[in-house]
Structure 1
Amino acid sequence: MAERFTEKQGQYLAFIYNYSVIFGQSPAEADLQRFFGTSAPTVHQMLKTLTAKQFISRVPGKARSIALLVDLDEIPRLVRPSGGR
């Protein structure tokens, strides 16, 4: 069976899920940027992609409004990126 999302998309979904469990709110784009060690435009584009594919939803103009739209059993285990702290 083909995967619904790429490995990288799965890691973003896993981070969103784990961050939400730990902190009781969804992550800001800056939290994703720090964890993955990427630029702000890269994170923003990934969130746009995840939204377009209906893996997440967001409320425009509202901070920390990311909501997962995938079943929790589909979310892969979060792995710290190479070179991470």
Structure 2
Amino acid sequence: MNIDTIAGTTDQVKGQVKEGLGQATNDPVLQQDGLADQLTGTVRKGIGQVRDVAMKQPFATAAAVGVIGLAIINTLRGKKTY
């Protein structure tokens, strides 16, 4: 577990608390802030999980990045007009 995973979980919990307070006080701005924090937390937690997998399996990660890179290059090459 790395700092991104921990911070993402913290942001999710903070967002849930904000959303709950917004519902209790009927404050739509606080509810939206809570939902935004939850989304931020989910994304950051996902990034942390990807980093964990990359650290545990560096060769598989390098292969996946290579395949994605080739796909991007081939897509860009196909889009050019001469």
> Would the TM-score normalized by the shorter structure come out above 0.5?
no
Superposition TM-score, scaled by structure 1 size: 0.29
Structure number with higher helix proportion = 2
Structure number with higher strand proportion = 1
